[in-house]
Amino acid sequence: MTRRPATALALLLGGCAGRQSVLNPLADQASALHGLLNLMLMVCGVAYLLVLLFLGWALWRNRRRLTDEVEVEPNDRGLKLGLGAWAGIMTLGIAVLIAASFLVDRTLAQHDRAAADIRVTGHQWWWRLEYRDPAGGWIETANELHLPANRPTRIEIRSADVIHSFWIPNLSGKIDMIPGRTNHLTLTPRQPGWVRGQCAEFCGAQHAKMALDVKVDTPEDFAAWLAGQARPAAAPSSPAAARGLDLIASGTCASCHTIRGAVGGGRAGPDLTHLASRRSLAAGTLPMTRGALGGWIAQPQALKPGAEMPATGLAPDETLAVVSYLESLR
């Protein structure tokens, strides 16, 4: 084997094991679907091989008689038997696939009646996430979904504007987010770590920049994370951060964003209470760094044209003050 095909094969197999791949199932739901995929490939593969085998056999058997006269004996017992066996094999294969699909569908729907733990709402182009608070009510965050491992989490799926599709390939199949309708999905992840989700329905100019970071936590880490998200924002710890908070509260930011305990009201955009605890910005578009935050606040339309976030019109020193405050929101 030369080096190039080896590299191509390594890349191909590497792609299968990724953190955004249906071929690397990390939850019960994805494992059930992966098993069904393997069974379908096997049944259809065997049928395909049999067709090729019989075709080759027929051609070889009649290799000397290349005329278009086909002689069929009306009462050829062998032919009748062969056709009967073929129809039987095909019917059996299809019956197996129907039964397996039905069983997998039951597996995916087995928690359908339980109350939701999380609400996910699709927006152009970000994700509103609300967690049921053990103390009552809902805790809001955005764009980074945390799930506890080894326990079914029931998710309500909605849309605020157009049709989106919620898809975390390593955890389950995709499900549409339809305005005016609530869909349900259960996820039982088995392995702590990061995976990546993506909107899977074209929903406008920035559909490609509607990604979702997903972190599967151990149950203890999840409880600690949720308790952290439930807390109000920390008070500014430096003069620059205090100035940033003033600018946010008195400017246009507050009409769209909420920072619990500091800036209230706006719900048009993502909740920023613990913004800096997330690993990315603008639905997976940028890393959560000081530079990216500054760039996003100064020129959101240059980074994600068409997004609802307008340029703030802040002076450079004001932008830096706002960044100082936002990056303290852990």
CB of 123 to ligand CUA, least distance (A): 8
Nearest alpha carbon to residue 321 among 234, 237, 244? 244
CB-nearer residue toward ligand CUA: 201 or 271 = 201
Nearest alpha carbon to residue 268 among 123, 120, 63? 123
CB of 281 to ligand CUA, least distance (A): 17
CB-nearer residue toward ligand CUA: 204 or 295 = 204
Most distant CA pair in the chain, distance: 98
Burial (Cβ within 10 Å: 0-12, 13-18, ≥19) of residue 132: middle
CB-nearer residue toward ligand CUA: 25 or 269 = 269
CB of 235 to ligand CUA, least distance (A): 36
CB-nearer residue toward ligand CUA: 116 or 203 = 203
Amino acid at 306: G
CB-nearer residue toward ligand CUA: 28 or 201 = 201
- Tell me how far apart the alpha carbons of residues 80 and 275 are, in angstroms, rounded to a whole number: 71
CB-nearer residue toward ligand CUA: 111 or 207 = 207
**Tokens read off for 167:** 């898809």
CB-nearer residue toward ligand CUA: 139 or 282 = 282
CB of 199 to ligand CUA, least distance (A): 3
CB of 276 to ligand CUA, least distance (A): 25
Q: CB-based contacts of 28: which residues, under 8 Å, 6+ apart? A: 107, 152, 188, 190
Sign, Cα dihedral of 222, 121, 113, 167: negative
Instruction: Assign 303 to helix, strand or coil.
Output: helix
**Tokens read off for 198:** 């993506």
- For residue 1, the 8-state DSSP code is -
CB-nearer residue toward ligand CUA: 125 or 225 = 125
Nearest alpha carbon to residue 159 among 185, 200, 122, 212? 122
Burial (Cβ within 10 Å: 0-12, 13-18, ≥19) of residue 136: exposed
Q: CB-based contacts of 50: which residues, under 8 Å, 6+ apart? A: 89
Instruction: Judge contact between 199 and 164, C-beta under 8 A.
Output: yes
Helix axes 316-326, 239-250, angle to 10 degrees: 100
Q: In the Cβ-directed half-sphere of 299, how many Cα atoms lie within 13 Å?
A: 6
CB-nearer residue toward ligand CUA: 221 or 308 = 308
CB of 125 to ligand CUA, least distance (A): 6
CB of 304 to ligand CUA, least distance (A): 13
CB of 207 to ligand CUA, least distance (A): 4
Task: Using CB under 6 A, list all residues that contact ligand CUA.
Answer: 122, 125, 164, 199, 201-203, 207, 210
CB of 164 to ligand CUA, least distance (A): 3
